[in-house]
Structure formats: structure tokens, C-alpha cells
């Protein structure tokens, strides 16, 4: 009944004129992200691109201004890939089903499809109009880390008002240029139910004396947070991100987030009673893309910590990374090296950046996918071809001193291709895990098959 009502509402507002693109690029496709980043590196896309879901409208405008015959060979595949994805997003209706199996639910969660369940079935149907878009996703999960067997994650109802997209949703977000470890807001936790506003087209409009900020994006989120699995407590969560491209190849963003559960205990000086003070988190991320000896490269960094005074975060966590791209007319290879450090000196757990389990959704960190008090490094690569074949590889190291000392060295290798009119993916993992003085080798397999109607 709910699906019928949403579809009827969306159809009522849709008009018969040609549609603009579907509302956004979701935070689940690292191969499409690589092509978008390549076009940003080459100056084809000029919009901020590090806020997911990423609105299609500005990208569509940039692509419409490009003569593909003038692009060099290394940009051709990325251009065709993004154009193809844009054409799919323009379809008025879309639906599909995805079957998945995961041999290890507690592996590292980077940018891409969430894989925190042992097995499951995901089904969805969507409509896209000129002003209203809607998607209903009904999912069944077996042995999920968030303990939700049936959920509606990835569902939304979005309305375009002027140049603003307003949405009621339960979707994953990814803020910042990181590939594996976004510190303030990532897909590490199950998505919260909430409301979001964001600019649809980020082209600069305003007084000339402010034009130096370039194209800019503003996104705000208000959601309901359920931090723990073992209680029914819920509270308010909010986040705000401003991103701009002041120079070709440069994106700069400032983020902030707050929650009813981000509190710090205080000892009152007179009556010695314990009080709690609410605080918020602040993040700054930067990414610069250029070409070095004809090779497209990018460097990026993110700082995130408590906001105690001014704009800069205090005692921040950080992620830094380097990327390179190798493109042809029929393939694209993206490689990257990323390092994160979430170590911090704090007297008690509640004094740490995230607090004592307070920055979580259903017992998973809303930000970093590695534990607090840890260091991690990832050497990764994504490869994609014009005929749909693709793959990835990651060599990951994590060293944690959070309560129990542990270390992990993991190799992840994945492959995808068309199969039975759908898309089949398979990923194998092997890791060497050290916990105190105990060592063991673990292996796991993930696979999925998705079919679109």
C-alpha cells in the first residue's frame, strides 16, 4: 500500500516534457566515481564531486558543453561511461533485484555497496520526473550487523524546488574525497531515516565579488539516530556541508555534525555533580587534481575533530591520499594510496573525538570505518572496460590499539561481468589477523547478482 501511494504521488507531479536526469549518483559505485573523478581532473566536470549522493544536474550541464571529439584519448572512456550512466538516470522508471552472499560480515567497509549482512535480497522500483522522483527499496537481510531482517534502506522521495532538492530518505552518504575511510560521514553504518536539502545545480550565481568561490554546493541533513542495538533510544542528528571549486581541479569543503549523543561529562565545581555538555564535530577536506608528465593525478586530505573554538577541528583525526588515472578509449584504471590515523590522547573514552560509542548508528560508527585509536593504509586499484568487465584489488593494513591490540593485513580482489542479462560480482578476501599474541589466517567470499527490469 505504501509503495502504491508513493508511486501515485510521483506520477501525479510528473509532466510529459522530457525529464532531466534522475536526482543523484548514489554512494555505491566506485567505478562510476572513478570516471567522474577522471573528468573532473581533465576539466570536463567543474562541479564539486565529493558529496554523495552527488546531484546529476550540474554534471549533466557540464557534459552538454563538451565536444567529445575534442577530448584526448585518456578521457574518452570516462566520458562515455558517465554519459551512459546519465542516460540510465534519465529513464522515467527503473526497477531491479539484487541477490547477495557474504562470507564475512565484519570486513572493512569502503566506498561502494554496503556488505554488512551474510546474505539477502534487495528489490527496488523508482520513478523520475522533472520535479519529483521516488524510489522504494524493500530488502531482506540474513544475519545483518544492524540486526534488521527487513528494511527499506535506499528509499527516498525527492522534490525539486527551484534549484534545491528536498528529500525524505533513508540513504547512505559519503562526504569527502576518501576512498576507504571518510571520517565524518560514510556508509559504514546503516543509513538513518531523515530529511535532506541540497543544491541541484552547483553553478555559481551571485554577486561578482564572491565569484572567487567558484561552483558551490550546500547540503544539510536532519535525521533520527539510534546509536545502540541493545536499547530503543533515539535522538536527533544533523550535519551540514559546504563545498566549492575556487580553482580548476581544486575542491575545498567544510563540514559539521551534531547529535543528541555527542556529549561530554563535566564536573560542576560547586556541588560536584556530573553534568553533560553537548559538542559537535567539524571536518575540513581538500582535493587537488592535476596532470604530471601526462598522467592525471590527485592528492587529498581530510581533518576531523571536535569543534571547540573557531573553524578548525581540535586534536583531529586525519586521512591523506594520492590517486592516479590511466585512461584509453575503452578502459580506465584508477589507483590510489590512502592512510588514516584515528589515534588520540584522551583520559577517558568520552573525551575522545567520537565519545564513548556516541557517534554510532545501530552500534556502527557513522564516520570512520576503522576503530578509534588505529592506523590504517590501503593500496587500491579499480579497472573498468567499455564492454562491462571490471575488477578491483586492495591491499589493506590496520593496526588498532582500541582496548585490545590487534593488527590485520588483508588482500581483497574482486571481479565483475555481465551474466544472464544481469551484473555478477565476486570478491575474495584473505587476511592475516593478530590479536594480542594469537595469529590466524582467515578467508572469505562475497558475491552478488543484480538484474534490472
Model pLDDT for residues 5-33, shown as the tens digit of each residue: 333 333 333 333 333 456 999 999 999 99
Q: Could you give the CA distance from residue 303 to residue 284 in angstroms, rounded to a whole number?
A: 5
Query: Whose CA is closest to 397, among 415, 413, 414, 374?
Result: 374
Strand (E) or helix (H) holding 140: strand 132-142
Q: Say how far residue 261 (Cα) sits from the centre of its chain.
A: 23
Q: Which phi and psi angles does 368 have, rounded to 5°?
A: -55, 140
| Stretch 246-252: mean pLDDT | 97
For 93, the 3-state DSSP assignment is strand
Query: Which of the four pLDDT bands, split at 50, 70 and 90, describes residue 266?
Result: low
- The pLDDT, as a whole number, for residue 21 is 54
Q: Is the separation of the CB atoms in 100 and 120 below 8 Å? A: yes
Q: Which phi and psi angles does 230 have, rounded to 5°?
A: -95, 5
Q: Is the separation of the CB atoms in 433 and 442 below 8 Å? A: yes
For 387, the 3-state DSSP assignment is coil
What pLDDT, in 10s, does the model give residues 314-353? 888 999 999 999 999 999 999 999 999 999 877 655 567 7
What pLDDT, in 10s, does the model give residues 421-431? 999 999 999 99
Q: Which residues of 121-146 are buried (b: 16+ CB within 10 A; e: fewer)?
A: ebebbbbbbeebbbbbbbbebeebbb
| Stretch 123-152: mean pLDDT | 95
Q: Is the separation of the CB atoms in 179 and 336 below 8 Å? A: yes
pLDDT, greater one: 99 or 274: 99
Which three cell numbers, joined as nine digits, stand for 360? 554510532
Query: Whose CA is closest to 84, among 43, 29, 46?
Result: 29
| Per-position DSSP letters for 390-439, written without gaps between them | EEEEEEEEEEE-SSS-EEEEEEEEEEEEEETTEEEEEEEEEEEEEETTEE
Q: Could you give the CA distance from residue 314 to residue 304 in angstroms, rounded to a whole number?
A: 8
* Alpha-carbon distances of 174 from 159, 184, 208, 254, 355, rounded to whole Å: 21, 9, 31, 14, 21
State the DSSP code for 39.
H
For 362, the 3-state DSSP assignment is coil
Query: Which of the four pLDDT bands, split at 50, 70 and 90, describes residue 312?
Result: confident
Query: Which of the four pLDDT bands, split at 50, 70 and 90, describes residue 270?
Result: low
| Stretch 136-142: mean pLDDT | 97
Q: Say how far residue 224 (Cα) sits from the centre of its chain.
A: 19
| Per-position DSSP letters for 273-290, written without gaps between them | -EEEEEEEEEEEEEEEEE
Q: Which phi and psi angles does 349 have, rounded to 5°?
A: -60, -40
Q: Could you give the CA distance from residue 361 to residue 352 in angstroms, rounded to a whole number?
A: 17
| Residue percentage of the chain with pLDDT more than 90 | 77
**CATH code at 429?**
2.40.160.130
Cis check for the bond before 369: say yes or no (omega within 30 of 0).
no
- The pLDDT, as a whole number, for residue 211 is 93
The total domain count for the chain is 1
Q: Is the separation of the CB atoms in 47 and 217 below 8 Å? A: yes
Residue 188 domain boundaries = 2-452
- The pLDDT, as a whole number, for residue 274 is 55
| Residue percentage of the chain with pLDDT more than 70 | 91
Q: Is the separation of the CB atoms in 417 and 424 below 8 Å? A: yes
Amino acid at each position: 500500500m505504501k509503495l502504491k501511494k508513493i508511486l501515485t504521488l510521483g506520477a501525479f507531479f510528473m509532466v510529459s516534457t522530457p525529464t532531466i536526469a534522475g536526482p543523484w549518483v548514489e554512494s555505491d559505485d566506485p567505478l562510476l566515481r572513478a570516471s567522474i573523478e577522471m573528468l573532473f581532473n581533465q576539466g570536463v566536470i567543474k562541479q564539486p564531486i565529493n558529496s554523495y549522493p552527488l546531484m546529476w544536474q550540474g554534471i549533466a550541464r557540464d557534459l552538454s558543453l563538451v565536444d567529445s571529439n575534442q577530448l584526448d584519448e585518456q578521457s574518452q572512456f570516462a566520458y562515455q561511461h558517465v554519459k551512459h550512466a546519465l542516460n540510465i538516470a534519465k529513464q522515467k522508471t527503473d526497477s531491479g533485484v539484487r541477490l547477495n552472499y557474504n562470507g564475512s560480515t565484519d570486513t572493512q567497509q569502503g566506498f561502494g555497496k554496503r556488505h554488512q549482512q551474510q546474505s539477502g535480497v534487495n528489490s527496488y522500483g523508482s520513478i523520475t520526473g522533472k520535479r519529483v522522483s521516488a524510489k522504494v527499496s524493500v530488502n531482506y537481510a540474513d544475519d545483518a550487523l544492524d540486526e534488521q531482517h527487513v528494511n527499506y534502506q535506499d528509499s527516498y522521495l525527492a522534490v525539486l524546488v527551484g534549484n534545491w532538492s528536498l528529500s525524505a530518505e533513508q540513504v547512505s552518504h559519503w562526504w569527502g574525497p576518501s576512498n576507504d575511510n571518510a571520517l565524518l560521514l560514510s556508509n559504514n553504518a546503516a543509513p538513518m531515516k531523515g530529511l535532506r536539502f541540497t543544491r541541484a545545480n552547483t553553478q555559481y550565481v551571485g554577486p561578482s565579488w564572491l565569484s572567487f568561490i567558484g561552483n558551490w554546493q550546500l547540503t544539510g541533513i536532519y535525521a533520527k539516530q539510534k546509536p545502540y542495538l541493545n536499547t530503543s533510544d533515539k535522538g536527533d542528528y544533523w550535519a551540514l556541508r559546504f563545498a566549492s571549486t575556487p580553482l580548476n581541479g581544486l575542491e575545498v569543503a567544510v563540514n559539521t555534525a551534531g547529535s543528541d549523543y555527542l556529549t561530554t561529562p563535566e564536573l560542576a565545581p560547586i556541588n560536584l555533580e556530573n553534568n553533560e555538555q553537548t559538542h559537535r564535530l567539524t571536518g575540513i577536506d581538500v582535493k587537488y587534481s592535476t596532470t604530471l608528465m601526462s598522467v592525471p593525478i590527485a592528492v587529498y586530505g581530510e581533518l576531523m575533530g571536535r569543534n571547540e573554538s573557531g573553524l578548525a577541528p581540535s586534536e583531529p583525526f586525519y586521512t591523506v591520499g594520492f590517486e592516479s588515472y590511466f585512461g584509453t578509449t575503452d578502459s580506465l584504471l584508477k589507483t590510489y594510496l590512502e592512510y588514516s590515523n584515528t589515534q588520540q590522547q584522551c583520559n577517558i573514552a568520552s573525551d575522545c573525538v567520537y565519545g564513548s560509542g556516541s557517534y554510532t548508528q545501530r552500534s556502527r560508527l557513522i564516520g570512520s570505518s576503522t576503530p578509534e585509536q588505529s592506523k590504517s593504509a590501503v593500496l587500491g586499484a579499480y579497472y573498468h572496460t567499455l564492454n562491462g568487465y571490471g575488477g578491483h584489488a586492495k591491499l589493506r593494513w590496520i593496526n588498532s590499539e582500541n582496548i585490545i591490540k590487534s593488527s590485520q593485513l588483508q588482500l581483497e580482489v574482486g571481479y565483475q561481468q555481465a551474466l544472464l542479462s544481469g551484473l555478477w560480482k565476486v570478491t575474495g578476501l584473505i587476511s592475516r589477523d593478530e590479536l594480542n599474541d594469537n595469529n590466524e589466517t582467515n578467508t572469505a567470499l562475497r558475491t552478488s547478482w543484480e538484474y534490472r527490469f
